[in-house]
Chain A
Amino acid sequence: MKRIGYYPGCSLHATAVEFDTSLKAICQHFGIELVEIADWNCCGSSPAHNNDGFLAAALAGRNLVLAAEQGLEELVAPCASCFSRLKAAQHDLEHNEAWRAELEKRLQASYQSGVRIRSILDFLHAVIGLDALRDRIVGPGLAGLKVASYYGCLFVRPQEILGRQEQENPQEMDMVVNALGGQAVDWPFKTECCGNSLALARPDVAQRAIKAILDAALGVESDCIATACPLCHANLDMRQGRQGLKMSRALPVFYITQLVGLACGLPAKELGVDQHLVSTRSLLSAANLG
């Protein structure tokens, strides 16, 4: 059994609990043991790094210290924001000796570099693998389902930390969708801003951003959207009911882990697909899924 560290962050224990349950379900299915970091704390997103760089590095850094202490060589952080903060903290602590020394002093522990932090997409590719996904599809998998892969901002940016050249047209989620038998549509809004926390502070601005993404997904006739970030999911799923969006039809929004589970024939209930605001029922029954 493969063993990998798990940093759920606050979202996967609360607003995005179906991201957590679907991830656990597929891990069980593929024989992967998720080891939640004991005594983990907040990753700091987003207030910490907007106020105090060291605080941000220290908050996320403590989790890295714990992971190393608990013998975890790699860990998966499914929430895009957690992933980004952990990667940023690792980058900062490895480039800023003063911060590293300060962190070690305050924690009374030594910082070990080299914990491999995986995003959920990296996890699906490197830990499970596309071939394994293809092998475990039940029946036609997602056949006939046109999926708009929506990555949001944090899987591809910032360049100096993630080292990616390509920020506009990532392919990792599309490849997973295609491996599951679905059809990933080509669309130009994969990494466009979802409005983030402006959904609370400036709902008018966020609504414009959300509408642009949903319109673009409808424009290429997709059946649903796949996400890999709790905040993206919240904005795209929860706000479709708003007046002013004027959507021609509702667009179910899934976590990519839910789509993996559905294609592998896991029960819909276990994957939490009934916990979204936009109903997934008619789409799934039409596609013979769940």
Chain B
Amino acid sequence: MKRVGVFVCHCGSNIAGTVDCAAVVAAARRIPAVAYAEDNKYTCSEVGQEQIRKAVQTHNLDRVVVAACSPRMHEATFRKTIASVGLNPYMLEIANLREQCSWVHSDRQAATAKAIDLVRLAVAKVLYNKPLFTSTLPVKKRAVVIGGGIAGIQAALDIAEAGHPVTLIERSQSIGGRMAQLDKTFPTLDCSSCILMPRMVDVGAHPMIDLMTYSEVEEVDGFIGNFRVKVRQRAKSVDHSKCTGCGECTEKCPTQVPAEFEAGLGERKAIYTDFPQAVPNKPVIDRDHCRYFLDGKCGICRKVCQADAIDYTQTDRQVEIEAGAIVVATGFDLFDPAKYGEYGGGRYPDVITGLQFERLISASGPTNGEIRRPSDGRVPETIAFIKCVGSRDEAHGVPYCSRVCCMYTAKQAMLVKEHAKDSKVYIFYIDVRAAGKGYEEFYQRAQTDAGATYVRGRVAKIFPRGEKLVLWAEDTLIGKQLELEVDLVVLATGIVAREGAVEFAQKMGISYDGHRFYSEAHPKLRPVDTNVDGIFLAGACQGPKDIPDTVAQASAAAVKVCSIFSKEELETNAMVATVDENICAGCFHCRAVCPSGAIDSKILHAWVAGQDVTRRVATVNSGVCQGCGSCAAACPSGAMNVGGFSNEQILGEVEAL
């Protein structure tokens, strides 16, 4: 005789506020298979769990239904609870009375009736639960970190320092990312390069870090502990084992190309490093612009290279890396201000972005750190900064706050004082958000020390008048329209997800939000995990973030990776598909729908009437199966079953409805 225990949770007032929990318990007691039922204020608390343990022992329960929150929240908790008193952990079902009932309804009577139905379903299902068992698989102790900005650098260094090998994959010529493009950082005005470069050098020199630049991830498959990452290493056209990084080729290259690193304000050569302190400090040839590759002429770099390192015959290489864990640190793009027609839509050269301003004030930038207008090279007497361009603006599809612009604008205002002390600075804002350690104080200094004038209001229009730019705006604090003539406008453009972020997420199988930022597994309690075990997030690919938060998240991701690597073997998922070989007809519809490639075939032999008759059937690789259930749904004969979601269990639920 099966004996079910039902435990109804109030979740404080989260459930009890809308659902009459006593009535749910009373209804549960009337179900024949239910041997015991009770309600608790917080079933997940130690007291609540102890109640379950006691009830299992006192009432000799062999399976349990917890009617509480989503199974994503506490299924694992309660599995451990019942396992501690000797039940198989999978003899548990959760009825989700919170997310799927009390939180979404307001009519108490109807919600209670629905809650009772949900409990009845769970009881009907648990009656068909069978004990499930896990097995173990060895862990590949190598991490792949995707993206070589500060997030990827920090994660790679932390994992490598813990003694585990890391492959760091970077798309551009050098690691460094956005942080390398910045001049100074808020709120301390530390030189960005000075704090970043040592880390970059550490990455380049670390014996445990395998650095793959100019490379892109093409495919990821496998699962936690056993990922396979296919990487395309683009042809650098320079043999880095011979190259000494002398720079002669770059100097002599006749082709000028707009430099990505200079945000459109400077140029680079066709054979180039991203910036002088690049890691690796050895160039690559941009084949889309190199004269040799375009029309077969030139070849100057090969002539001047004393190390004979130029190799035009190199081809792209495919490399497959086996890794136990992956850190995604693919960074962000800046909002394209050309979408703001009222600010000139990109037509006015002296309306620049915050990142371009960083390059202007950088000592290694296109103007050697002097603030000069792109149009005529003049030092601007008046500079206007406009915040929230591509942030908090639903008309442009970006309702969120980009978090860094208030602070980087305050910083840039301070740096104007350093670089062009007679220039007058106006800052147009909606609100000033300076929530961070030392941030408010820094913002105050921008006003007191740097003398920036903050004007509360969005700029409505920018247009040229002679050599000046005219701003029309409203000062909402005094309720007046104003017109202002300035020499340079800096748009504090917001953070958006990388171009191609969605396609990349689909390659990895990780989920993303409505703004294409990658989703964490839980917004509060699992902020660096993704929905895929073993893949973690670091930095702005998950959402707008400043440098300290990025570094913190990267270190957190590294710890998560190391905790996987602290085990020799990982427990596999017990809720995987199994085949009833007696029924399987070998049609392999299951193999066609399996997203994980977990289904193989095998030959069965049987003696029938004195003859060896063979039959081909499906078989599941339980280490690869993710338990998604596609095969079970596709199987025409019902031979395929997913543990925890067997056909019997689901039909049991349906019948109870």
Count contacts on B: residues with CB < 8 A to the other chain: 10
Question: Of all chain A residues, which has the CB nearest B481?
Answer: A208
- A contacts with B: majority SS: loop
Q: How far is the CB of A85 from chain B (nearest CB, A)?
A: 23
Q: Is the CB of B342 within 8 A of A219?
A: no
Say yes or no: is B344 at the interface (Cβ < 8 Å to chain A): yes
Say yes or no: is B465 at the interface (Cβ < 8 Å to chain A): yes
Q: Is the CB of A167 within 8 A of B465?
A: no
Docked complex Cα distance between A169 and B464 (Å):
14
Docked complex Cα distance between A168 and B340 (Å):
9
The digit string for A185-203, where 1 denotes a CB below 8 A from any CB of B, is 0101100100000000000
Docked complex Cα distance between A168 and B342 (Å):
6
Docked complex Cα distance between A189 and B347 (Å):
14
By a CB distance below 8 angstroms, the chain A residues around B341 are 166-169
Question: B106-135: which have CB < 8 Å to A?
Answer: none
Q: Is the CB of A189 within 8 A of B345?
A: no
Docked complex Cα distance between A216 and B465 (Å):
8
Docked complex Cα distance between A167 and B460 (Å):
13
Question: A198-220: which have CB < 8 Å to B?
Answer: 216, 219
Q: Is the CB of B345 within 8 A of A168?
A: yes
Docked complex Cα distance between A198 and B344 (Å):
27
Q: Is the CB of A219 within 8 A of B345?
A: no
Question: Of all chain B residues, which has the CB nearest A208?
Answer: B481
By a CB distance below 8 angstroms, the chain B residues around A168 are 341-342, 345
Question: Of all chain B residues, which has the CB nearest A159?
Answer: B395
The digit string for A146-188, where 1 denotes a CB below 8 A from any CB of B, is 0000000000000000000011110000000000000000101
Q: Is the CB of A188 within 8 A of B345?
A: no
Docked complex Cα distance between A167 and B347 (Å):
14
The digit string for B212-237, where 1 denotes a CB below 8 A from any CB of A, is 00000000000000000000000000
Q: How far is the CB of A202 from chain B (nearest CB, A)?
A: 15
Q: How far is the CB of B459 from chain A (nearest CB, A)?
A: 13
Question: Of all chain B residues, which has the CB nearest A186?
Answer: B347
Question: A64-104: which have CB < 8 Å to B?
Answer: none
By a CB distance below 8 angstroms, the chain B residues around A192 are 461
Say yes or no: is B504 at the interface (Cβ < 8 Å to chain A): no
Question: Of all chain B residues, which has the CB nearest A216?
Answer: B463
By a CB distance below 8 angstroms, the chain B residues around A167 are 341
Docked complex Cα distance between A192 and B461 (Å):
10
Docked complex Cα distance between A192 and B462 (Å):
12
Of the candidates B345, B465, B466, the one whose C-beta lies within 8 Å of that of A169 is B345
The digit string for B449-466, where 1 denotes a CB below 8 A from any CB of A, is 000000000000101111
Q: How far is the CB of A86 from chain B (nearest CB, A)?
A: 25
Question: B453-509: which have CB < 8 Å to A?
Answer: 461, 463-466
Q: Is the CB of B347 within 8 A of A169?
A: yes
The digit string for B192-224, where 1 denotes a CB below 8 A from any CB of A, is 000000000000000000000000000000000
Docked complex Cα distance between A266 and B329 (Å):
66
Question: Of all chain A residues, which has the CB nearest B339?
Answer: A165
By a CB distance below 8 angstroms, the chain A residues around B344 are 188
Which of B461, B463, B466: most chain A CB closer than 10 A?
B463
Docked complex Cα distance between A167 and B341 (Å):
7
Q: How far is the CB of A216 from chain B (nearest CB, A)?
A: 7
By a CB distance below 8 angstroms, the chain A residues around B347 are 169, 186
By a CB distance below 8 angstroms, the chain A residues around B464 are 188
By a CB distance below 8 angstroms, the chain B residues around A189 are 463
Q: How far is the CB of A186 from chain B (nearest CB, A)?
A: 8
Docked complex Cα distance between A186 and B344 (Å):
11
Question: Of all chain A residues, which has the CB nearest B340?
Answer: A168
Docked complex Cα distance between A166 and B345 (Å):
9
Docked complex Cα distance between A216 and B466 (Å):
10
Question: Of all chain B residues, which has the CB nearest A189?
Answer: B463
Q: How far is the CB of A19 from chain B (nearest CB, A)?
A: 27
By a CB distance below 8 angstroms, the chain A residues around B463 are 188-189, 216
Q: How far is the CB of B657 from chain A (nearest CB, A)?
A: 36
Docked complex Cα distance between A186 and B348 (Å):
12
Docked complex Cα distance between A219 and B465 (Å):
8
Question: B338-365: which have CB < 8 Å to A?
Answer: 341-342, 344-345, 347
Docked complex Cα distance between A192 and B345 (Å):
15
Docked complex Cα distance between A109 and B347 (Å):
50
By a CB distance below 8 angstroms, the chain B residues around A219 are 465-466
Q: How far is the CB of A136 from chain B (nearest CB, A)?
A: 32
The digit string for B236-270, where 1 denotes a CB below 8 A from any CB of A, is 00000000000000000000000000000000000
The digit string for A218-230, where 1 denotes a CB below 8 A from any CB of B, is 0100000000000
Docked complex Cα distance between A104 and B466 (Å):
56
By a CB distance below 8 angstroms, the chain A residues around B466 are 219
Question: Of all chain A residues, which has the CB nearest B472?
Answer: A212
Q: How far is the CB of A190 from chain B (nearest CB, A)?
A: 10
Docked complex Cα distance between A219 and B345 (Å):
20
Docked complex Cα distance between A166 and B347 (Å):
14
Question: Of all chain B residues, which has the CB nearest A170?
Answer: B341
Q: How far is the CB of B338 from chain A (nearest CB, A)?
A: 10
Question: Of all chain A residues, which has the CB nearest B470?
Answer: A188
Q: How far is the CB of A240 from chain B (nearest CB, A)?
A: 20
By a CB distance below 8 angstroms, the chain B residues around A188 are 344, 461, 463-464
Docked complex Cα distance between A192 and B341 (Å):
12
Question: B318-348: which have CB < 8 Å to A?
Answer: 341-342, 344-345, 347
Docked complex Cα distance between A188 and B344 (Å):
8
By a CB distance below 8 angstroms, the chain B residues around A169 are 341, 345, 347
Question: Of all chain A residues, which has the CB nearest B483?
Answer: A212
Q: How far is the CB of A149 from chain B (nearest CB, A)?
A: 15
Q: How far is the CB of B351 from chain A (nearest CB, A)?
A: 12
Question: A124-138: which have CB < 8 Å to B?
Answer: none
Docked complex Cα distance between A16 and B211 (Å):
72
Question: Of all chain B residues, which has the CB nearest A187?
Answer: B463
Q: How far is the CB of B87 from chain A (nearest CB, A)?
A: 58
Binding site for A on B (CB under 8 A): 341-342, 344-345, 347, 461, 463-466
Instruction: Offer 14 A-B interface pairs, CB within 8 angstroms, sorted by A.
Output: A166-B341, A166-B345, A167-B341, A168-B341, A169-B341, A169-B347, A186-B347, A188-B344, A188-B461, A188-B463, A188-B464, A189-B463, A192-B461, A219-B466
Extra 4 A-B pairs, beta carbons < 8 Å, given A188-B461, A188-B464, A216-B463:
A166-B341, A168-B342, A169-B341, A169-B347
**Which 9 A-B pairs have CB atoms at the shortest separation, nearest pair first?**
A168-B341, A188-B463, A168-B342, A169-B341, A167-B341, A169-B345, A166-B341, A168-B345, A219-B465
